Amino acid sequence: MPAHRRLEPVPQWSSSIVDDGSMSQPVEGTHAMTIEPPTCLLYLLTVGRDKELVLRVHGTELSIEQLTAWMTEETVHALTVSRFGDEQTATLLLNFRHVVGARLAPYSETRTGSF
pLDDT along the chain (115 residues), means of 10: 43 37 48 72 94 92 96 96 85 95 88 53
Q: What is the pLDDT of residue 86?
A: 78
| Residue 95: predicted pLDDT | 96
β-bridge partners, 70? none
pLDDT (0 to 100) of residue 47: 94
The pLDDT value recorded for residue 115 is 45
In this prediction the pTM is: 0.67
Q: Which CATH class is domain 27-106?
A: mainly beta
Spatial contact of 31 and 89, defined as CB atoms under 8 Å apart = yes
Contact 107, 82 (CB under 8 A): no
Going from the C-alpha of 8 to that of each of 11, 32, 81, 90, the distances in angstroms are: 9, 6, 15, 10
